[in-house]
């Protein structure tokens, strides 16, 4: 589903070049739930942005669903992003004056009129994220947990090949975070949704099948939970 | 202690024979479950002696049945209303750590790291288990594991704090 080869990202400021990603190789299978962990500034969010086509690499290849993102023109990438990828951000990024259903429907408008079938799907999504009865409520009147539920429904509205989540529970308390993670996990288990989630929280990472530990722009360790000593790696990494 | 109150709880609504009681108590103990059948029978003897439980006879397969007495019901309800001090669950590690500090144990850091590793492993495994339980509709078991995870989070934060202050 995702194949990354020798991925490098540099940011240039004046005379100074900062290499944020230093030649990453990565492979994520269809239907996997992967957590990317690492300290602030380790490059994990930059990687997610590149996987989502929100930015372009300095060097290297990114294949998502057998398409090379790095070889696409900007407009092509925008269409690919809209049709194949779903995003969830820490700060929800909803349109505050639009209602719940208008926010969820938003990515569909660019591809034409809302059909009855699409409207039915939006209502199904609203129910599946537990927001029945709030269809016409404005986004800015919702709690943080409810806003993130809307964001999840919006991310899933185009049946994305991959759901990319950047610290999706970072702004929520433990109880609300649990609800969001359970929701993501349910879509992963029931619909085989591929999810890549950046998090610094071991309690969120516990929901994932595999963990990618990031340090200073390189992958320090890819951890499968089937490995005997995985907790030891994690404990050392978090020390 | 758990076996006694597990038996009283299991007999609250209906009679059971000994092996059924073992299975009921296992289920109440949740993921840490599985008690020795011998423990059930010795506890039942004590409960009969103290008149908290009695035997009304045998079932059609010649298995001895047990039922709850009024005194048993009172005992159970009294126990249910007693708050549980949080520290009892993890006093072992606190005690051990205190002993380590007292003797200026050179390997305290290793001790904390090992404890942290154990907690992380439990967090990962319990998170996986709770998700499966939730999808199977096992709401109560899911909530109990969520409670355990919140305690583990506090323990992990505490170890991090000890480590930070020791640097």
The pLDDT tens digits for A56-94 are: 999 999 999 999 999 999 999 999 998 899 999 999 999
How far apart (Å, rounded) are the C-alpha atoms in residues A82 and A90?
A: 19
Measured CA to CA, the distance from residue A87 to residue A93 in angstroms comes to 10
Which pLDDT score is estimated for A114? 80
User: How confident is the model over B142-157, as a mean pLDDT?
Assistant: 91
Largest Cα span, chain A: 55
Q: A9 forms bridges with which residues in the sheet?
A: A21
Residues in B closer than 8 angstroms to A190, CB to CB, are 135
CB A53 within 8 A of CB A85: yes
Written as six digits, the tokens of A31 are 């239907």
**Reported confidence tier of residue A135, pLDDT bands at 50, 70, 90:** very high
Token output for A187: 């879509």
**ipTM for this prediction:** 0.84
Q: Which residues does chain A have within 8 Å of residue B153's beta carbon, measured at their own beta carbons?
A: 174, 203
* Residue B167 pLDDT class (50, 70, 90 cuts): confident
Give residue-wise pLDDT tens across range B90-122. 566 776 787 788 788 888 888 888 888 888 988
Tokens 């909530």 locate to B143
A239 touches chain B (CB under 8 A): yes
Q: Helices A100-109 and A144-156 sit at what angle, rounded to 10 degrees?
A: 30
Residue B161 confidence class, pLDDT cut points 50, 70, 90? very high
Considering only the beta carbons, identify the residue of B116, B146, B163 that sits closest to A178.
B146
* A221 and B CB contact within 8 Å: no
pLDDT at residue A234 in the model? 83
Question: How close are the terminal C-alpha atoms of chain A, in Å?
Answer: 32
* Torsion A47-A51-A54-A56 (CA) sign: positive
Q: Given this model, what pLDDT does residue B91 score?
A: 60
Task: Determine the Cα–Cα distance for residues B152 and B124; give it in Å rounded to an integer.
Answer: 11
Q: A135 with A123: CB under 8 angstroms? A: yes
Task: Flag if B135 and A186 touch (Cβ within 8 Å).
Answer: yes
List, for residues B21-54, the tens digit of each pLDDT value.
Answer: 999 888 877 666 688 889 999 999 999 999 999 9
B124-147 mean pLDDT: 91
d(CA B63, CA A95): 67
User: Token digits for A194?
Assistant: 């591929």
Q: The tokens 């007495």 sit on which residue?
A: B69
**The pLDDT of residue B1 is above 60:** no
Q: What's the confidence (pLDDT) of residue B86?
A: 53
Q: Between helices B108-135 and A230-238, what is the axis angle to 10°?
A: 120
Residue A221 CA to residue B152 CA, distance in Å, equals: 24
Q: What is the mean pLDDT of chain B?
A: 87
Tokens 């100074």 — which residue? A16
B-facing residues of A in 187-206 (CB < 8 A) are 189-190, 202-203, 205-206
Asked whether the beta carbons of residue A203 and residue B121 sit closer than 8 angstroms, the reply is no
* CA-based nearest distance B93→chain A, Å: 18
Alpha helix stretches (DSSP H) within A90-239: 100-109, 116-128, 144-156, 174-191, 202-205, 230-238
- φ, ψ for residue A162 (rounded to 5)? -135, 140
Q: What pLDDT, in 10s, does the model give residues A161-201?
A: 999 999 999 988 888 899 999 999 999 998 899 999 999 88
What element of type H or E holds A62? strand A59-64
Mean pLDDT of chain A: 91
Of B88, B105, B156, residue with least CA distance to A234: B156
pLDDT of residue B118: 86
Which tokens sit at A231?
């907790």
Which of A135, A131, A100, A105 lies closest to A117 in space, CA to CA?
A105
Name which residue leads in pLDDT, B155 or B70: B70
Mutation for B interface: A169, A174, A178, A202, most B CBs within 10 A:
A202
Expressed in angstroms, the distance from the first to the final Cα of chain B is 41
**Closest residue to B153, CB basis, from A203, A207, A232:** A203
């Amino acid at each position: 589903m995702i194949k990354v080869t020798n991925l490098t990202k540099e940011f240039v400021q004046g005379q100074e070049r900062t290499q944020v990603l230093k030649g990453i190789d990565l492979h994520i299978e269809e239907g996997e739930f992967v957590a990317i962990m690492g300290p602030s500034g380790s490059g994990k969010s930059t990687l997610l942005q590149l996987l989502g086509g929100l930015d372009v690499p300095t060097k290297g290849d990114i294949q998502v669903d057998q398409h090379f993102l790095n070889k696409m023109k900007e407009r092509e990438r925008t269409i690919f992003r809209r049709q194949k990828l779903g995003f969830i951000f820490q700060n929800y990024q909803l349109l505050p004056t639009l209602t719940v259903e208008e926010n969820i429907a938003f990515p569909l408008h660019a591809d034409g009129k809302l059909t009855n079938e699409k409207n039915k799907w939006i209502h199904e999504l609203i129910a599946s994220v537990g927001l029945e009865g709030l269809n016409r409520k404005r986004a800015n009147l919702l709690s943080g947990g409810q806003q993130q539920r809307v964001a999840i429904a919006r991310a899933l509205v185009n049946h994305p090949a991959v759901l990319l989540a950047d610290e999706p529970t970072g702004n929520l308390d433990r109880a609300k975070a649990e609800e969001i993670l359970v929701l993501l996990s349910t879509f992963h288990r029931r619909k085989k949704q591929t999810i890549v989630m950046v998090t610094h929280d071991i309690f969120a990472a516990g929901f994932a099948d595999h963990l990618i530990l990031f340090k200073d722009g390189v992958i320090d360790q890819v951890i499968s939970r089937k490995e005997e000593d995985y907790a030891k790696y994690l404990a050392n990494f978090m020390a | 202690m758990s076996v006694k109150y597990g038996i009283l709880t299991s007999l609250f609504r209906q009679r059971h024979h000994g092996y059924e009681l073992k299975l009921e108590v296992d289920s109440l103990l949740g993921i840490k479950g599985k008690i020795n059948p011998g423990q059930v029978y010795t506890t039942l003897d004590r409960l009969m002696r103290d008149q908290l439980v009695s035997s009304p006879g045998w079932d059609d397969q010649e298995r001895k049945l047990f039922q709850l007495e009024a005194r048993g019901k009172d005992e159970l309800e009294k126990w249910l209303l007693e708050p549980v001090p949080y520290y009892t669950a993890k006093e072992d590690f606190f005690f051990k750590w205190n002993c380590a500090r007292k003797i200026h144990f050179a390997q305290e850091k290793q001790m904390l790291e090992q404890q942290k590793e154990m907690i992380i492993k439990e967090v990962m495994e319990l998170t996986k288990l709770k998700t499966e339980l939730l999808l199977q509709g096992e709401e109560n078991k899911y909530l109990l594991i969520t409670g355990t995870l919140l305690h583990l989070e506090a323990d992990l934060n505490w170890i991090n704090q000890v480590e930070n202050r020791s640097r």
